[in-house]
Amino acid sequence: MRRVQNAATDRHGTTLVELTVAVAIMAVVFAAIMPLFAGVRNSADTRWAGLEMVQNARVLNEQFCRHLAAARRVTAASADTSDNGYVQFEAADGASYRCALGAGGYVEFGPVGNLSELVGPVDYLRFVCYDGNDLVNPAPTPEGTRLVTWEAGLRSAGPMTRGKIIRGACYLRVSARGAENTATYDFATCRPGTDCFAFADQGELQVPDQPDVPAEVFDAAGYDGVTANDGQFHAIEVSDAAEFAQIRLTFQIEPEEGDVTAITPSWNGKGVNEHPLCTDGAALHIWNWSASRYELLHASANTEAEITLAGSGGAAAADYIGGDAGKTVMLLVVSNSDKSGAGACTLFTDYVKIDVASVPGGEAVVP
């Protein structure tokens, strides 16, 4: 008789030995190919990290060269040995720009007070400034800078790629259409009451928020006291408690606004507050016509001695020129403390002037 075979009894499952062998074979295969994948990944990371540093170097050098070549002048710079370097310069349009290493390790660039990240991260940034007569030793002051060099240590974003050091240089190509001239304006060379004015009074606010305060104009004797640095003073004494002594000075300058490269005011005098808990001395401000506010230039220490306050603002020179004729520069000097108790609070002015540097028609050459 023919036997009928049961198909269900002929089915065989995967044994444990077979499964173990299969897993072992797969493990060997993966162990062999994983280093290949790791090598491909590391190669890609290394390539991208290198490309990123090359791009950062290109952007950094292009931005520096394009803007510095067209700058009118360098106004401030870090020490040539500083790893947290910065350089600040006045552009052809009169605006002030700054490039600096930010707190996050990124190079920041833009108008002063409104910087934005440019490239990074970097480990350090150095600037060195040279004048036109010595290209070996760094310039002692930034004002005469004609050549700026920089060095940055770019940090790699890939673990297998080393960082790079980039270097660059740029020569400031200032137009030779005119030489820089400096004119001094004071109450001896100007005409008091015509193209220069002085006002003195007291006020509750140490620094007024309006350009016409104080408004009490000097008399002839008052102008005589501030025409020379000779120890003869104009004095304004505060009569009311909790008020400050103030003196406002205005000058009409001759250069066109676009030709002015720098404005440097200077004030000689003293502030005396007889109350033992108050501070002697004074502070010098300049009116920023663009921002409609006074900007502090220099505040003295606590002293009764005669002092000199001087400085220049952080904005473009044109921002400090305005008024109806567009040629007014306005200063404010205030006592460091207000009047307190019976002690007198007096502001003495010996001499005041402004030095105005200008280049007639001397725009920077744009590359």
pLDDT tens-place string over residues 192-213: 999 999 999 999 999 999 999 9
**Same-domain status, 162 and 197:** no
**Same-domain status, 340 and 279:** yes
* Residue 364 pLDDT level (bands cut at 50, 70, 90): very low
> How many Cα atoms are found within 13 Å in the side-chain-facing hemisphere of 197?
17
Beta strands in the chain (DSSP E): 73-77, 86-90, 96-101, 107-111, 116-119, 122-131, 145-154, 164-171, 181-186, 196-203, 234-237, 244-252, 260-273, 282-288, 293-299, 307-310, 328-335, 345-358
**Same-domain status, 198 and 154:** no
The answer to whether residue 21 is domain-embedded is no
Report how far residue 151's alpha carbon sits from residue 59's, in angstroms, rounded to the nearest whole number.
14
Structural domain total, the chain? 2
CA-closest candidate to residue 254, choices 332, 154, 181: 181
The answer to whether residue 11 is domain-embedded is no
pLDDT tens-place string over residues 147-199: 999 898 888 766 666 778 888 888 887 654 456 788 999 999 999 999 999 99
CA-closest candidate to residue 80, choices 139, 134, 168: 139
- Indicate whether 242 pLDDT > 50: yes
pTM exceeds 0.85, yes or no: no
Q: Are 90 and 261 in contact (CB under 8 A)?
A: yes
**Same-domain status, 217 and 256:** yes
The answer to whether residue 221 is domain-embedded is yes
* Residue 361 pLDDT level (bands cut at 50, 70, 90): low
Q: Which of 171, 205, 221 is the last residue of a domain?
A: 171
**Same-domain status, 206 and 344:** yes
Higher pLDDT, 218 or 22: 218
**Same-domain status, 268 and 325:** yes
The answer to whether residue 6 is domain-embedded is no
**What pLDDT, on the 0 to 100 scale, is given for residue 21?**
78
- Indicate whether 365 pLDDT > 50: no
**Same-domain status, 210 and 233:** yes
The answer to whether residue 12 is domain-embedded is no
H or E segment and range at residue 24 = helix 16-69
Is omega for the bond preceding 121 within 30 degrees of 0, making it cis?
yes
pLDDT tens-place string over residues 243-298: 999 999 999 999 988 888 889 999 999 999 999 999 999 999 999 999 999 999 99
- Indicate whether 133 pLDDT > 80: no
The answer to whether residue 364 is domain-embedded is no
**Same-domain status, 251 and 327:** yes
Q: Are 265 and 250 in contact (CB under 8 A)?
A: no
Q: Output 213-221 pairs: Cβ under 8 A, ≥24 positions apart.
A: 213/246, 213/248, 214/246, 214/247, 214/248, 217/193, 218/192, 220/192
CATH code of the domain covering residue 326: 2.60.120.260
The answer to whether residue 4 is domain-embedded is no
**What single letter denotes the amino acid at residue 361?**
G
**Same-domain status, 280 and 313:** yes
Higher pLDDT, 36 or 309: 309
**Same-domain status, 165 and 207:** no
When pLDDT is averaged across residues 213-236 and rounded to a whole number, the result is: 94
Task: Give the whole-number percent of the chain exceeding pLDDT 90.
Answer: 49
Q: Which of 153, 171, 189 is the last residue of a domain?
A: 171
Q: Which of 152, 171, 190 is the last residue of a domain?
A: 171
CB-count burial class (<10 Å; 0-12, 13-18, 19+) for 143: middle
**Same-domain status, 148 and 291:** no
Report how far residue 141's alpha carbon sits from residue 228's, in angstroms, rounded to the nearest whole number.
29
The answer to whether residue 274 is domain-embedded is yes
**What pLDDT, on the 0 to 100 scale, is given for residue 46?**
63
Range of the domain at 319: 181-358
- Indicate whether 75 pLDDT > 70: yes
Q: Is the dihedral of CA 232, 252, 323, 114 positive or negative?
A: negative
**Same-domain status, 306 and 235:** yes
